[in-house]
């Protein structure tokens, strides 16, 4: 009988070969951990082994000089072992206490801040942006760098009521996640269709099926098969643009940023929540996005001053109520905050004006 071919493993690789030897040796056998200062964690194993983790922020999109620099630092202090968090922080594991402070000093001297742990503002999680995606309306990773430059002091300190997670998303429909404060690209005008290209480039039935509000239908334009959009129905979501690039929806003036608050992914301590829109129509003013940063700071510092210890952003808003949120932050409440999608009543509870 022929030998069965073994399955090809294509999931996440085995982490053990990449883990610091002290962590491999004590895997699952940790006695306790503590948090000596911002950006530094301490773990003691049942065997008595100790390890310190030092977390540093990076600029996210790293050139290879920076990668080599960070790797050299790992060789010098951390036995060559590092890991990157999903928020693009780099973590060094150090088994010798005398190396912790020199490591922190060298990272700081080279411009990498130490922080992002406990009740700080952690690094912004972001979507792929111009570098890797074909449909972004803005540069999500550049926006993360620009906004974090403004929040540097909150990354290296523990002064927030609880941990604050931020995210940026360069379109509204795909890979963005929930966050305490989420910065999300929104289109505000229906797509502009290049009818000369639609028949050659787009599979029209798939594009029609893609629209969540059935606003697209097949049409003959100038004698050629194309598509048309019922602009009264269109919610400017941008879902038709990926399968049909001639339906261009990115626009330098009308693609805007919006800020959503109060989202939470995990079910740790309290249930997950959807974030909700609190500001919209902010200009896509790259590279520094000053208008976006200003609104983020307004929300953040109001929460910092008004939140009770250990209250997450969503819990703070739940306690004070949405009217007080708008009063305290000074953000205007407009008709655009009202979610009038008919499905929101029964499932999303998605807008800030009322709850069912």
User: Looking at 85, 174, 188, 194, which residue binds ligand SF4 (CB under 6 A)?
Assistant: 174
User: From edge to edge, which strands make up the β-sheet containing 40-45?
Assistant: 30-37, 40-45, 50-56, 90-94, 82-84
Kindly indicate which of the ranges 51-59, 122-130, 290-298, 315-323 contains the residues binding ligand SF4, using the contact rule CB under 6 A.
Answer: 122-130
Residue 176: which of 251, 260, 236 has the closest Cα? 260
Kindly indicate which of the ranges 68-76, 103-111, 127-135, 322-330 contains the residues binding ligand SF4, using the contact rule CB under 6 A.
Answer: 127-135
169 binds ligand SF4 (CB under 6 A): yes
Q: Judging by DSSP bridges, how do beta strands 166-169 and 125-126 pair with one another?
A: parallel
263 binds ligand SF4 (CB under 6 A): no
Q: How far is CA 316 from CA 170, 177, 324, 345, in A?
A: 27, 20, 11, 23
**C-alpha span between 211 and 135 (Å, rounded):** 16
CB of 354 to ligand SF4, least distance (A): 24
CB of 147 to ligand SF4, least distance (A): 16
Do residues 185 and 171 touch, judged by C-beta distance below 8 A? yes
| Residue 223-262 contact track with ligand SF4, rule CB under 6 A, x = bound | ------x----xxxxxxx--------x-------------
The footprint of ligand SF4 on residues 195-214 (CB under 6 A) is 210-211, 213
Express the helix, strand and coil content of the chain in percent, nearest 5 each: 30, 20, 50
Closer to ligand SF4 by Cβ: residue 177 or 304: 177
**C-alpha span between 48 and 99 (Å, rounded):** 18
Neighbouring CB atoms inside 10 A of 342's CB total 7
Closer to ligand SF4 by Cβ: residue 191 or 307: 191
Under the rule (CB under 6 A), what is the footprint of ligand SF4? 127-129, 133, 135-136, 140, 169-171, 174-176, 190-191, 210-211, 213, 215-216, 229, 234-240, 249
């Amino acid at each position: 009988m022929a030998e069965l071919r073994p399955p090809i493993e294509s999931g996440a690789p085995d982490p053990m070969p990449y883990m610091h030897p002290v962590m491999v040796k004590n895997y699952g056998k940790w006695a306790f951990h503590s948090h000596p200062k911002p950006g530094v964690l301490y773990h003691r194993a049942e065997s008595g082994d100790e390890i310190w983790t030092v977390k540093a922020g990076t600029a996210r999109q790293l050139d290879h000089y920076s990668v080599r620099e960070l790797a050299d630092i790992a060789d010098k202090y951390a036995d060559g072992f590092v890991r990157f968090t999903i928020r693009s922080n780099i973590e060094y594991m150090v088994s010798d206490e005398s190396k912790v402070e020199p490591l922190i000093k060298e990272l700081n001297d080279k411009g990498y801040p130490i922080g992002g742990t406990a009740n700080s503002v952690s690094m912004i999680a972001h979507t792929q942006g111009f570098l890797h995606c074909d449909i972004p309306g803005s540069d999500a990773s550049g926006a993360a760098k620009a906004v974090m430059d403004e929040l540097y002091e909150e990354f290296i300190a523990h002064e927030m009521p609880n941990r604050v997670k931020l995210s940026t998303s360069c379109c509204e429909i795909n890979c963005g996640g929930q966050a305490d404060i989420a910065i999300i690209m929104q289109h505000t005008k229906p797509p502009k269709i290049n009818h000369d290209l639609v028949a050659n480039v787009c599979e029209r039935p798939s594009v029609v099926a893609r629209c969540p509000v059935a606003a697209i239908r097949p049409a003959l334009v100038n004698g050629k098969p194309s598509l048309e959009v019922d602009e009264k129905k269109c919610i400017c979501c941008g879902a038709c643009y990926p399968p049909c690039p001639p339906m261009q929806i990115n626009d330098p003036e009308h693609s805007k940023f919006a800020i959503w608050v109060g989202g939470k992914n995990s079910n740790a301590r309290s249930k997950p929540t959807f974030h909700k829109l609190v500001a919209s129509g902010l200009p896509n003013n790259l590279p520094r996005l000053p208008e976006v940063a200003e609104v983020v700071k307004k929300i953040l510092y109001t929460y910092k001053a008004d939140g009770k210890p250990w209250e997450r952003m969503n819990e703070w808003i739940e306690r004070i109520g949405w009217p007080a949120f708008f009063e305290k932050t000074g953000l205007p409440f407009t008709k655009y905050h009202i979610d009038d999608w008919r499905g929101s009543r029964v499932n999303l509870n998605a807008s800030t004006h009322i709850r069912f």
